[in-house]
Structure 1
Amino acid sequence: MAYWWSTIGLVLAIYVGISIALYYLQDYMLFKPEKLPKDFQFNYENQEFKEYNLETRDGATINGVLFKPKGKPKGTVLYLKGNSKSIKGWGKFAVDFTRLGYNVLMGDYRGFGKSTGKRSQKAIKRDLQVIYNKMKELTPEENIIVYGRSLGSGFAAKLASTNNPRLLILDAPYYSLTKVTVRYMPFMPLSVLMKYPLPTYKWLKYVQCPIHIIHGTKDRLIPFKSSVKLAQVNPKLTKLHAVLGGGHKNLNNFESYHKMLQDILESEVKDIDLSTTSINVIHSAKKSK
């Protein structure tokens, strides 16, 4: 009997130890930042851009770059990137929007690139709201588009839920970050341990602008089915775009992805007169003999 009690005690101790380690180490597991020196000079080939620094109320600095199109911009895309690297590399994706006539504002989260400050879910949400408020001083809100890629999709959903942008575009989003993590640690109490639960599905309920979700059908990190579930949260405003064969990091290599972006950004949202459709027509059942 003593042997079994000692075994149970050992298992519990290991379980608690792993839980504590997960809580304190999750920042290192979730975020893969590339840090840049303060004097680093950005260089983007064939792109016009301007660097900005925003001072937050707690003394942090959020560094960002505004990419400009040729001619008068149609609006501004706030691009919320994934969990790795810095805007040094992410900036190359700005061309997907500037070519269509839009400004693109990319910023680094705290601890990424030249941005500073202690990172937390609350701090990042607060930083993004400050950035959004600054954007509204330069661009009418009806011309602001919020684009969230992977990790950034949750923050994008939150930002759109408390503001009124023209569009919300989610690229490879997760239902919640807790749901993604539980796939790899199914026996851990993640609802208690996660410092970044990022419940995208909860925030999408309150978004009032059109929502476009883009996801690869062969995404192994965040399965396509997560976007199918998200599309059902706010169905009247949501359209799901499937990139057939697309993975998690290669959607930009598919021509269909760029056609989707162009269609989303250039199309006008029109209400449907349902009285002119077959919405109330019911297929008749076969008559039994």
Structure 2
Amino acid sequence: MQYWVSTILLILGIYIAISIALYYIQDYVLFKPEKLPKDFQFDYENQETKEYNLETRDGAIINGLRFFPKGESKGVVIYLKGNSKSIKGWGKFAVDFTRHGYNVLMVDYRGFGKSTGKRSQKAIKRDLQVVYNKVKEKTTEDRIILYGRSLGSGFATKLASMNNPKMLILDAPYYSLTKVTGRYMPFMPLSILLKYPLPTYKWLKYVQCPIHIIHGTHDKLIPYKSSVKLSQINAKLTKLHTVIGGGHKNLNNFESYHKMLDDILNREPKTIDLETTSINVIHSAKKTKKKA
């Protein structure tokens, strides 16, 4: 009996030790930042850019980069990137929006690129709201598009739920970060331990602008089914765009992805007169003959 008690206590001790370790190292596991020196010069071929530094109320510096379209601007895309590298590398994706006539603003989260400050979910949300407010000083909200890629999809959804942008575009979004990490550590109490739960599904229900979700069917990191579930939360405002064969990091390599962006950015939604459709027609059940 004493042997079993000792074994159980040992297992429990190991479990608690792993949980404590996981709590403290999760920043290193979740985030893969690339840090840049203060004097680093951004340079993109055939792209006009301007660098910004925004000081937050706690003294952190949020570094951002604005990409300009050729010709008259249709608005601003606030591009919230994934969890790796810095805007140095992510900047090459700005062309997918500047070619459609949009300014693109990319920012590095705390600890990424030239951005400084202690990172937390609350701090990042606060930083991004300050960035949004700064953009709002220069243009109206009906010209602001929020684009969230992977990790950035949760933050973009939160921003959209608190503001009134023109639209929200989510690229490979997660239902919640707790769900994603839970696939790899199903026996850990992540709902308690995770400092970045990022419950996209909770915030999505409060979004009042058009929502476009883009996801690849072969995404191994964030399953396609997560976007199917998300698309059902605020269904009247949401359209799900499926990239057949697309993975987590290669949607930009698919022609269908760029056609989807073209439709999203350049096609005004049409109002359908449902009274002229078959929406109220119900398929009749198959009738069976009654026996005499």
TM-score (norm. length: structure 1):
0.99
Partner of 2:148: 148
2:220 counterpart residue number: 220
Aligned to 1:32: 32
Q: Which runs of 5+ in 1 are unaligned?
A: none
Deviations 1:208-241, CA, capped at 9 Å, x for gaps: 0000000000000000000000000000000000
Helix, strand or coil at the partner of 1:40: coil
Cα deviation code 1:222-268 (max 9, x no counterpart): 00000000000000000000000000000000000000001000011
Shift of residue 128, structure 1, vs aligned partner = 0.3
1:44 matched residue in structure 2: 44
* 3-state SS in 2 of match to 1:72: coil
The answer on 1:233 being equivalent to 2:216 is no
Q: Secondary structure at the match of 1:180?
A: helix
The corresponding residue for 1:192 is 192
Report % sequence identity.
83
**Mapping 1:1-289, distance limit 5 Å:** 1-289=1-289
Whole-angstrom CA distance in 2 between matches of 1:228 and 1:134? 33
Q: Secondary structure at the match of 1:219?
A: coil
Gaps of 5+ in 2: none
CA distance in 2, matches of 1:283, 1:3: 67
- C-alpha root-mean-square deviation of aligned residues, in Å? 0.6
Q: Secondary structure of 2:236's partner?
A: coil
Q: Which amino acid aligns with 2:234?
A: N
Q: Partners of 2:126 and 2:161 in 1: how far apart?
A: 14
Q: What is the alpha-carbon distance in structure 1 between the residues aligned to residue 129 and residue 243 of structure 2? A: 30
SS at match of 1:160: helix
What is the rounded CA distance, in whole Å, between the counterparts of 1:250 and 1:259 in structure 2?
A: 15
- Partner Cα separation in structure 2 for residue 128 and residue 60 of structure 1: 13
| Structure 1: distance between partners of 2:167 and 2:49 | 23
- The alignment of Structure 1 onto Structure 2 pairs a total of residues equal to 289
**Deviation by residue 1:44-71 (Cα, 9 ceiling, x = unmatched):** 1110010000000000000000000001
Q: Secondary structure at the match of 1:12?
A: helix
SS at match of 2:249: coil
Q: Post-superposition shift, 1:272?
A: 2.2
The secondary structure found in structure 2 opposite 1:7 is helix
Q: Which moved more, 1:92-101 or 1:276-285?
A: 276-285
For the residue of structure 2 that corresponds to 1:236, the secondary structure is helix
> What is the CA distance between 1:270 and its match in structure 2?
2.9
Output the CA distance in 2 between the equivalents of 1:45 and 1:103: 16
Where in structure 1 do 4 or more consecutive aligned residues deviate above 3 Å?
none
- Aligned mates of 1:159, 1:104 — CA distance in 2: 16
The structural deviation recorded for 1:271 is 2.7
Deviation at 1:139, TM superposition (A): 1.7
Deviation digits for residues 58-92 of structure 1, max 9, x if unmatched?
00000000000001110000000000000000000
What is the one-letter code of the residue matched to 1:200? T
Aligned amino acid, residue 283 of structure 1: H
Tell me, what secondary structure is at the counterpart of 1:124? helix
Amino acid at match of 1:245: G
Instruction: Find the aligned partners of 2:169 and 2:135 in 1 and give their Cα distance.
Output: 17
Q: How many Å separate the matches in 2 of 1:53 and 1:269? A: 36
